[in-house]
Structure formats: C-alpha cells, structure tokens
Amino acid sequence: MADVTIDAVRELVMDSLKLHDTFDPEEIEPEGQLFGDEGLGLDSLDALQLAVDLDAKFGVTIDEEKAQSVFRSIKTIADYVNQA
Amino acid sequence: MSATELPIPHAEPFRFVGRVEEVREDSGLFTWTLPRQSESFALRMFPQLVCIEAMAQAAAALNGLIGARDPDNPEGGALAGFDKVRFNGAPRPGDPLTIKVAIKKRFGALVMLDGEVWVHHRMVAQAELIVASEAAR
C-alpha cells in the first residue's frame, strides 16, 4: 500500500466521527491530542468507531491494547498504518 | 433458553426479545411477537422504535451469552450508541419478529454489532449498535 498521508487520516477521522460540523480540517493538527479534555475530547466510543473504520479503509487491526498509543494523534495513526 | 433467562434486566412489558433461536460465537438469532393487543402507547404508535429497542436487547443478550466469564453472573451490558438506522416499513400488531445481531468488533468493554429485524422474509429495520459491558459503565 502506498504511504497513507496525514491528510488522508485526518479526512478519515473527520468522516468517521462526523467532525465536519465541529472542526475545520486545519484545526486538527497532525500531532495534536485526539482524546481527553486537552485534545479534541474523543472518547472510547469514538475509538471503537475509528478502529472499525481504519480496518475497513486501510486493512489494519487495532485492538484496545494498542489504541492508547496509536490514537494519540493523527500522526501516530498515520505512522501505525504505514508500518502495518 | 427462555427469554426470562437472558442476561438482560428488561421485563414485561418492556421485554422485546423472546425465544433464543440460535447463538454462535459472534452472532445471535432471537424471536418475539409484537403483541396484538397492547395498552402500550409506544408499541402501538412507534413500532419502529420497538425495533431499535429489540435490536438493543438482542445485542446485550448476545454479549452476555457469549461474553460472560462467570456463568452465574453474565454481563449483558447497556446500549451505548446506535447509528446507520434504516427502516423498510413497520411491523404490525401480531407480526412475528426475527431479530438478528452480529458482532463487528470487540474493543475492550465495548462491542459494535450489526442488527436487523425481519418480519417473515422482509427486513423492516437495521442498525449498527454499540453495547457497553458493565465494566465500561
């Protein structure tokens, strides 16, 4: 698979979690925190949805053990997908 | 297994899952008949909402039946979300419902499932559901 870009992951995250009405794409920085109060405020339900959609789009499996590190930011997701 | 043995807390008249027809590792098949006479406003006026609740109860029941580590204390879980809901008509009083649920993804204490409600050979409702086990609440 060709390298998955930051923009492609950002788009998937925004589509998957229906964030288009809440954020502009440029508001979601590649290394910005996604989960928790200091980030975008995503929660465990969002993590499950992201895991399902990343599997469907890029064929990568992310389980709960990996999720905390993989879902830290858009960049960590892209890095994980590209290394998988 | 009878409905009363299912690992969900719902009781009549808010129990929309009856017989367990089949339970596999990642899917379940349940049946229930929409009452012919019901004083329940929801049952008469919002049969599509009943379909959603029936799928949610079936999803929780399946999660408890196959996910329970302690058979004496199975976890059913609670509805945490639903999405991608579609209706194709509405069941009528007396219709036999077949409720199918299949697990798409387990993620810690959360489980995502596809649900469908059928009346005879017609699918009347479908949705994607998320059930949270007790541990997540």
Residue-wise pLDDT tens digits, B60-89: 999 988 875 455 656 678 899 999 999 998
Q: What is the ipTM of this complex?
A: 0.78
B61 CB-near residues (< 8 Å, 6+ apart): B6, B7, B8, B17, B20, B28, B30, B76
Q: In the prediction, which pLDDT does B78 show?
A: 87
CATH topology of domain B3-136: Thiol Ester Dehydrase; Chain A (3.10.129)
Q: Measure the CA–CA gap between B70 and B76, rounded to whole angstroms.
A: 12
Question: Do residue B105 and residue A51 have CB atoms under 8 angstroms apart?
Answer: yes
Domain boundaries, chain A: 6-83
Q: In the prediction, which pLDDT does B44 show?
A: 72
Choose among B104, B105, B110: nearest Cβ to A44.
B110
Write a three-state SS string for A32-72: CCCECCCCCCECHHHHHHHHHHHHHHHCCCCCHHHHHHHCC
**Residue B52 to chain A, least CA–CA distance (Å):** 19
Q: What is the CATH architecture assignment of A6-83? A: Orthogonal Bundle (1.10)
Q: What is the pLDDT of residues B4-16, one digit of tens each?
A: 578 888 888 889 9
